[in-house]
Amino acid sequence: MEIIVLGLSHKTAPIELREKLHIPESELPEVLEELGGCGQILERMILSTCNRVEAYAVVDDVEGARRFLVECLAERHKLLPQAFESSLYLLTADQAIRHIFRVASSLDAMVVGESQILGQVKAAYAIAIEQDATGSILNALMDRALRVAKRVRTETGIATSAVSVSTAAIELAKKIFGALTGRTVMLIGAGKMSELSAKHLLADGVGTVIVANRNFDRAVELAERWGGRAVPYDHAKLEMVGADIIISSTGAPHQILSKADFQEIALQRRNRPIFVIDIAVPRDIDPAANEIDNVYLYDLDDLQGVVQANLRERQREADVAEGLIDREVRQFAEWLASLHVVPTIVAMRKKVESIREEELQKIFSKLQDLTPEERHAISLMTSSIVNKILHEPTTELKRQSALKEGHLYVDVLRRLFGIGDE
């Protein structure tokens, strides 16, 4: 019996190939049922996202299961195996366990620490359970993987820093204002980046959205989408006095706001801070505006700098997470290895218990005058003796089971206790 991972990901296959092999969530039950027809695959689940297609399985013949999985993928997607086999990886035993823990913990993601993958793993596992495709081993493995992922997110800082331009802008805004609840954001221009930033700001509690755009109809359209209000482009400077956060992304070929404009705005705001994000190229705002007290101006390069710094910080946290996963893999592998000694331990205890019971009956038949309480006390005492005698060999057998020559201990113990073959 072996745990395997067979699949491909953004690290081994281009997006064109990942698209061809992608399995929609609605088709997963059918695929799981199909895999159930393979005698070598005992338990299975499929994880298919935009970045990976992977089968997690418990098998009793690795090569047989691999061939069956490859043939299933080829047939389902009308491809020759040669079209994707070189992009596949096959992981077994500890490597497979480690990979599943890393995927669930977002350490194998395109953007390390992103949270979406954990939800995708949970959904894939839920479908496998619904299809009765998992058993005791895969259930234990996936339950542990989800717990490991939770530990990584709570015990390291892997997901605490922003790694996109839009979320980096939110992070900076929070440093200036603290909570964003009730703040007013103004969009100048209607680029996709400003839309995305506005979306994140609203999710963080920003209260009012003002939109100014040369095309007023477009401004109205955006304002309605965000529950805000549109203003004529010529009124933008006046409206900025009441805004706490400005996101500018026009397509103007020159600067549209000067340092003098912001000096006037800052004066009217009575030195209340204003956070300005200039994500236009070429820039909309004179960089010298950043010299004014309480005007916090960031352009695209500034935000990219924050993102790169955060990515480096995430990588440091990922190194911490790898250590945590090392320990979890070792513990799970030891548990898995101990499973094959369970029948021997059960047989050993059963044999000793039958001897104890037999001897008790003999002594009770000779001591007819014993009260029920005395019989109970003697029974408890003999149970205690049996438990103490068996404790050491049981513990040592479990410990040795995780080692290479653990099977020798099983053989010796079965001979010493006269236990027959399983």
Of all residues in the chain, the percent with pLDDT exceeding 90 is 59
162 pLDDT more than 70: no
Please state which of the ranges 213-222, 253-262, 307-316 shows the lowest mean pLDDT: 307-316
| pLDDT at residue 238 in the model | 92
Q: What is the dihedral of CA 255, 257, 263, 268, to 10 degrees?
A: -170
**CB 36: neighbour CB atoms within 10 A?**
15
Helix axes 342-366, 372-401, angle to 10 degrees: 160
Q: Tell whether 189 is in a known binding site.
A: yes
| pLDDT at residue 422 in the model | 52
CA contacts within 13 A on the Cβ side of 194: 29
| pLDDT at residue 421 in the model | 61
Q: Tell whether 120 is in a known binding site.
A: yes
Tokens of 399: 């410990």
Q: Tell whether 192 is in a known binding site.
A: yes
34 pLDDT more than 90: yes
Tell me the average pLDDT across 96-108.
96
Any idea which residue has 């953004």 for tokens?
10
Q: Tell whether 72 is in a known binding site.
A: no
Q: Give the C-alpha separation, 46 to 119, whole Å.
A: 14
Which H or E run includes 312? Answer: helix 300-338
pLDDT, tens digit, 9 for 90 and up, residues 327-350: 999 999 888 877 778 888 888 888
| Longest Cα separation, the chain | 110
Q: Tell whether 371 is in a known binding site.
A: no
Tokens of 8: 């491909």
Tell me the average pLDDT across 95-121.
91
The alpha carbon of 111 is separated from its chain's Cα centroid by a whole number of angstroms, namely: 11
Tokens of 313: 């910080």
Q: Tell whether 186 is in a known binding site.
A: no
Tell me the average pLDDT across 298-309.
85
Just list the catalytic residues: 50
Q: Tell whether 190 is in a known binding site.
A: yes
Q: Give the C-alpha separation, 330 to 333, whole Å.
A: 5
Q: Give the C-alpha separation, 88 to 94, whole Å.
A: 18
Q: Tell whether 45 is in a known binding site.
A: no
Three-state DSSP class for residue 29: helix
If pLDDT is split at 50, 70 and 90, which confidence band does 404 have? low
Q: Give the C-alpha separation, 332 to 329, whole Å.
A: 5
How would you classify the pairing of strands 89-92 and 52-59? unpaired
Q: Give the C-alpha separation, 295 to 289, whole Å.
A: 7
Q: Say whether pTM exceeds 0.75.
A: no
